[in-house]
Amino acid sequence: MKKIIDLITETMEAAFEKAGYESKYARVTLSNRPDLCEYQCNGAMALAKAAKKPPMEIAEQIADILKSSQDESISSKGPVFSDISAVRPGFINLKLSGTFLKDYLDEMNRSENFGLETMEKPKRILVDYGGPNVAKPLHVGHLRAAIIGESIKRLAKYMGNEVIGDIHMGDWGLQMGLIITELKHREPSLPYFDESFDGEYPKEAPFTISELEEIYPCASAKSKEDETFREEALKATFELQNGNRGYRAIWDHIMRISREDLKKNYDNLDVHFEWWKGESDVQKYIPDMVQKMKDDGYAYESEGAIVVDVKEDSDTKEIPPCMILKSDGASLYTTTDLATLKERRESFDPDQVIYVVDKRQEMHFVQVFRCARKTGIVDKDIKLDFLGFGTMNGKDGKPFKTREGGVMRLENLISDINDEMYKKIMENHEEDPETAVATAKTVGLAALKYGDLSNQATKDYIFDIDKFTSFEGNTGPYILYTMVRIKSILSRYIADEGIKEDEKAVLSGYGLNVCDNDAEKKLMLELSKYSAVIEASFEELAPHKICGYIYDTADAFNHFYHENKILSEEDKEKRSGWIALIRLTLRILEQCIELLGFSAPERM
């Protein structure tokens, strides 16, 4: 199904052509004066110079053509516009006809995905998001990657692409050496530390997840004060990476336990990865990759290190060479990401890779992308996108911390939100506490995710629990509240009408009304933008556009609801038309929040 704006533009193009002008001037946009019109075309002003005519004259000419050609218009079912007017200094202001809008929405309503045209040529897309560092607790910094990445992934799939989400764990760094060293100090008699041990290591880990969570910070703190401890940890890291059997066995334990714990945490966020790969998986690619870069003449030695130049003539700022190996021969974050691209090309051969990572890592990715293209690790036509997100700040404008000033753990943040939501739900009306807990969880997740996603990803935002959990304003709970309201009207309608069987089939057979009031039209106009919004959100990797759309839609619905007595409307046909309208509204909102990564409860 064509986008509504494209249908309007086609009508406009036909009018421009009929007048003997080029159709490129016929661009139509949403009105920036909604008090005057719904859509507008500013082409007459752009054309005036070339046509050597005053813009007002052109606008009037086009308006006249449009008016006289309304009957033979593209909808073939009647006029597209109910109002066409030329306005000084040369705007063409447009209002859509009720029949055109009804026909368009009826067609949307009959379609499973509301007439969205999915990708003509589906792409293979890999979304790299999450990026937790194994054995370190998840903190709020990982929250944005998870929330934004999950939404981008769902959107890419919905558009018809073949998509994989890869968690890309940080699982090969110094934190592993620190844990091994600390464990060695605490329990030196474990077989993992006995070099002469050649039997099978125990299946059970020598620690639980909570012990692990205590060991890491303890070791990390020690390494900052105690230089010999740090040296030891560095050495352990090196030995782990170079095949120490006992260390590798500890590493396996750490990974198994952490993966379980991570999965639990991400499940709580309704975030799910297809791939659980990590930095450790690609280490084996590094030696050959580096050798090839040297052989091909891209990598060279500079002050002992191995680097590849990635600066380009068009650069306006300094882009330092991409470092491939440190002077001690150790690989770096860059090396790992390059090797990961190599591995991904071999295993999935993506057309596009989208990295959802903190925007402070932008330079790293500029270097990695350039180096990968230059050295042929990826093809020239692969799309590499860095979606860098801003920081989640506290009310003081600084990165969000606990009340005590420490790093806020994700789990605690989520339970804070759920507690607050629970309080509000109980305040609202007495509910049975058990249901309220479940509802608070659903609504809490919406509060958290919507609070994040409604901001443009690249911007910093302030985490404000009172605002995010409010039932009013531009919030997740407000959207859900609106949906629950629609659900309740629909079930009352079903009960009133005595519809017993297959209510879905009955309701989906209803057509919408030709709108007869402003509030109804406003809601219809919002809904009709669906395809354009989804397409733009995907192309621009901008879930906040979906948030903006559902907020406007929810507002338009609530206005419509207050202006019209839906269930007590006497005219049966009008009433069922309204039911069709609000049911379409609900279905669209449901699809949108699914793309954002949360869902609505039955009641709240």
Rounded to the nearest 10°, the torsion over CA 60, 62, 66, 72 is: 150
Q: How far is the CB of 263 from ligand ARG (least distance, A)?
A: 17
Which residue is nearest to ligand ARG, using beta carbons?
131
Instruction: Out of 131, 246, 444, 597, point to the residue binding ligand ARG (CB under 6 A).
Output: 131
Q: Give the x-and-dash track for 278-317 against ligand ARG (CB under 6 A).
A: ----------------------------------------
Q: Which of 357, 515, 579, 589 binds ligand ARG (CB under 6 A)?
A: 357
Q: At closest approach, how far in Å is the CB of 128 from ligand ARG?
A: 5
* Shortest Cβ 518–ligand ARG spacing (Å): 49
- Which is closer to ligand ARG, CB of 323 or CB of 357? 357
Q: 3-class SS at 177? A: helix
Q: How far is the CB of 358 from ligand ARG (least distance, A)?
A: 6
CB of 539 to ligand ARG, least distance (A): 22
Q: Rounded CA gap, 599 and 480, in Å?
A: 8
Minimum distance from residue 143 beta carbon to ligand ARG (Å): 12
335 lies in the binding site for ligand ARG (CB under 6 A) = no
Of the pair 136, 544, the CB lying nearest ligand ARG is at: 136
Binding ligand ARG (rule: CB under 6 A), the pick from 154, 168, 230, 370 is 168
CA angle 88, 93, 98 (to 5 degrees): 155
Which span sits near ligand ARG by CB under 6 A: 47-55, 87-95, 128-136, 195-203? 128-136
Among 13, 38, 128, 535, binds ligand ARG (CB under 6 A): 128
* Contact pick of 79, 90, 98, 170 for ligand ARG (by CB under 6 A): 170
Taking the least distance from each CB to ligand ARG, the nearer of 79 and 131 is: 131
Compute the distance between CA of residue 545 and CA of residue 534 in angstroms, rounded to an integer: 8
Binding mask 222-241 for ligand ARG (x = CB under 6 A): --------------------
CA atoms within 13 A on the CB side of 98: 10
**Nearest Cα to 386, choosing from 129, 124, 144?**
129
Cα 591 to Cα 116, 161, 598: the distances in Å are 12, 17, 10
- Non-local (6+) Cβ contacts of 97 within 8 A are 78, 79, 80, 81, 82
Which of residues 142 and 441 has its CB atom nearest to ligand ARG in the complex? 142
User: Alpha helices of 35-116 — where are they, by DSSP H?
Assistant: 43-51, 55-68, 98-110
To ligand ARG, the closest distance from the beta carbon of 288 in angstroms equals: 20
Among 355, 400, 510, 578, binds ligand ARG (CB under 6 A): 355
**Complex with ligand ARG: residue 168 or 253, whichever CB lies closer:** 168
Nearer to ligand ARG, 63 or 289 (CB): 289
Strand order in the sheet with 352-358: 162-166, 124-128, 352-358, 383-389
Residue 175 burial (CB < 10 Å; 0-12/13-18/19+)?
Answer: buried
With contacts defined by CB under 6 A, name the span among 126-134, 198-206, 301-309, 484-492 that binds ligand ARG: 126-134
Min dist CB 373 to ligand ARG, Å, is: 16
Is residue 109 within 8 Å of residue 144, measured between CB atoms? Answer: no
Q: Which is nearer to ligand ARG, 128 or 535 (CB)?
A: 128
Q: Tell which residue, 589, 345, 362, has the closest CA to residue 483.
A: 589
Per-position DSSP letters for 186-205, written without gaps between them:
H-TTSGGG-TT--SPPPSS-
Query: Does the protein bind ligand ARG through residue 149 (CB under 6 A)?
Result: no
**CB 321, CB 329: distance < 8 Å:** no
Least distance CB 355 / ligand ARG (angstroms) = 6
Dig out the tokens for 333 from the structure.
């974050």
Is residue 160 within 8 Å of residue 196, measured between CB atoms?
no
Residue whose CB is less far from ligand ARG, 90 or 131: 131
Find the shortest distance in angstroms from Cβ 389 to ligand ARG: 11
User: Which CB atom, from 73 or from 391, has the smaller least distance to ligand ARG?
Assistant: 391
Q: Minimum Å distance from CB 133 to ligand ARG? A: 5
Rule CB under 6 A: say whether 246 interacts with ligand ARG: no
H-helix or E-strand containing 307? Answer: strand 305-308
Residue 184 in contact with ligand ARG, rule: CB under 6 A? no
Residue 29: other Cβ atoms inside 10 A: 12
Of 276 and 471, nearer to ligand ARG (C-beta) is: 276
Cα gap 126→164, rounded to integer Å: 5
DSSP state string for 1-20: ---HHHHHHHHHHHHHHHTT
Return the number of the residue (100 or 355) whose C-beta is nearest ligand ARG.
Answer: 355
55 Cβ contact list (under 8 Å, min separation 6): 44, 45, 47, 48, 89, 90
**Chain residues in the site for ligand ARG (CB under 6 A):** 128, 131, 133, 168, 170, 337, 355, 357
